[in-house]
Chains A and B, each alone.
Chain A
Amino acid sequence: MTARALLVLTLGTLPAQAETPAVPRFEAFIGGPEHSFTGEWQYMVGGGVAAFDCSGDGRPELFMAGGTTPASLWRNDSTPGKLAFTPLDRAETALDGVTGAWPLDIDSDGITDLAVLRVGENHLLRGLGDCRFEPANALWGFDGGDAWSTAFAATWEAGSAFPTLAIGNYIDRAEEAFPWGSCTDNWLHRGTATGFAPPLALTPSYCSLSMLFTDWNRSGRPSLRVSNDREYYKGGQEQLWHLDPGASPRLYTPDEGWQRLRIWGMGIAGSDLDGDGYPEFYLTSMADNKLQVLAQPGPEALPRYRDDAFPRGAHAQRPYTGGDVRPSTAWHPEFADVNNDGRADLFVAKGNVSAMPDFAADDPNNLLLQRADGTFYEAGAEAGVASMKVARGGAVTDLDGDGWLDLVVVNRNAPVEIWRNTGTGAPGTWIALRPEQPAPNRDAVNGWVEVRTEGKTQRQEITVGGGHGGGQLGPRHFGLGTASEAEVRVIWPDGTAGDWMTLTAGQVWRLPRDAPPSR
């Protein structure tokens, strides 16, 4: 260097600095469920949690993937301000080789079922009530296959009684010595009147670790986003599939606006952060994560996204505490309003793959609180959730019914961690909404829930899939700031917009399609 004038570029100058959001305080739950996701090679990925109410009391139970340890199901006995769980000794759910699980009402009987992914045959478990399940692969004609399954998504195609399931598969596990380039086919199990058609191979497949059916362009016809792990594919990239009625699935092409992106795709989360009616997507990876914003939203939108992670402070690139300066490894992402200020926040589970020296060993989870200007504030340490355990899956959900979203994190070869959200110390009202419609698709998957307060509209798409190794089914939580009531409506999966209704804050509301709301 010569005596040129110099400019110091420091991290943090690009993201706009605004007010500090109210930080919720999380209290570690001591004496909670004893469970770990264990194993080595075939369990370096996966390890999620399914959160859903199977006991009928409105509180979400937890089904946790175990890898070489049997999966476990925990009944939620929590009361507001106090967490409590009881293990349920159920042979039908104590499966081994489980990498992940997602809840959904497959047969639309009003009782939540479970899709369980495994290293080996995948299982659909039919809910019987009172947290009992029965194996249902044969009943529904579901071919569980024999693969290393790692990603899941579901939607209901028009006219189909049963959902269409997408299952992402990883490496050919027979290629242990040279796994690179050995990605196995993903599958599409299309719903029929009574169950499932034989699976279609979603070729090309690129070792997917997360999938999500989403109506990204508000066309009324969800597409399948697939996030793929570039560590193992050759010639691959992120994918978006058309799913047109009666037609074979086909990939979006560059001519249709799809842009090639190659990352260590680990997880997908979606949320309409900017209120434009179209979801933004957060893609977890290693070293740098993506916050994708639709470049030109509108009815004729092309699937072109710009990456706003860095300018909005959501890159979560390296540990923010603990002194390990190496890049991070990110897994389960989830948008949720943890401080009830009316803005979606972002949780990201972190942890080294397995002794990868280029990446942080002490890699705390992120809790990124969204500011009013759309940038994010890292609050993991202040909030008390900056665990250095090696995380994989997670769930941000109201475990004790107090209106503050709690946190569950499944760790690899380490105990699960649960934190209770004790609030911010400031007022923060909320509302939780559960749309219901007649069969099929009782939970209105790929419909939208909208909440309006003081002229601002929050919006969530009801999806099954995404994350890493698990997901939730239950009421959609919205923070309301200080509002005592909110206008709400549902846009049903067929595109029909329900009427706006004014509902009281601080309640969980059922929203039947053809009946008044009820608590």
Chain B
Amino acid sequence: MSTDTRPAAPAPVQPRGPVRVERRLPRLAPLGLYLAGVALGAGLSALTGSSLSSTVVYGVVLGTLAVFLASRLVEGRRKATDRLVTCLVTTAFGVAMVPLVSLVWTVLDNGLARFDATFFSNSMFRVVGEGGGAYHAILGTLVITALATVISVPIGLMTAIYLVEYATGRLKRAITFFVDVMTGIPSIVAGLFAFALFTLLFGNDVRLGVMGAVALSVLMIPVVVRSCEEVLKLVPNELREASFALGVPKWRTIVKVVLPTAIAGLGTGVTLAVARVVGETAPLLVTVGLITGTNLDPFDGRMATLPVFAYYQLTQPGTDTQAFLDRAWTAALVLIILVMALNVVARLISRFLAPKTGH
């Protein structure tokens, strides 16, 4: 808390009126000063052998400095600090945008080369060079993700119902806490868990699609629980009471009043949970492996999945390196599209399934 504000403030411009008016920079001046600083930075960068990164760095630093100094001279220390923080915070946001934009651009740039019909209709069966595609891997990802969803949603939803509608005391606290902790399990550890489980059951060197689904479920269940729990908590208690007062048993109240009221949020939560696991690579690497042909039976041997496919195309290219790299980038592009599509679907669900109010 600044105590020395009054002496530090420049003389009021208008001595009359109840509100003290201080000298301020004109409204667009900070932006102008900032841009001037950026331009100066670009010039400096050009002198020292220009590159994009040095231009940006010099520009941002000089722009911030220009705004700070101008404000310090005209508006005083407090306002200058405020403007400095505004610059810093905005810069932080800008910095975070750089990798996102760069990443999306890179994947688009490299991935569009093989974004063709062959990629979606052919597998890698007996392909050693050009051609081939990820048909088998895309379908494998869909099968395994669907299986993981089938395992996770009932368990996750029922647990959320238990936490919100029934649980009290120590068990509730234990489950809440460990579900939170479980969200932090590294995906590779989930994979090792599924591997260890199935090795004990079926002996060494077993690789099955269902192992991958189990591993993904370990990652998915806590996400489903948390999002469903949040949504169920939002259902007003009054609706439960209204139903109880009509002589409806608790379980019917939950199934027929609480869940339908929350359906939009539940759908969104589950979709986002699917989006979270659909791109998981590490657990599938150690449990499902990879094959070149199409295997859609999760209970019979190795399967191909899109993330693992992308990984091996990149890291173990065959004779025609460029063909492998192209397929890897296209697989990455498809993966991003898949995840983004799920995110969009989640938002659509929450928009269109929300209870109608009739207003």
Same complex origin of A and B: no
A-contacting residues of B (Cβ < 8 Å)?
A: none
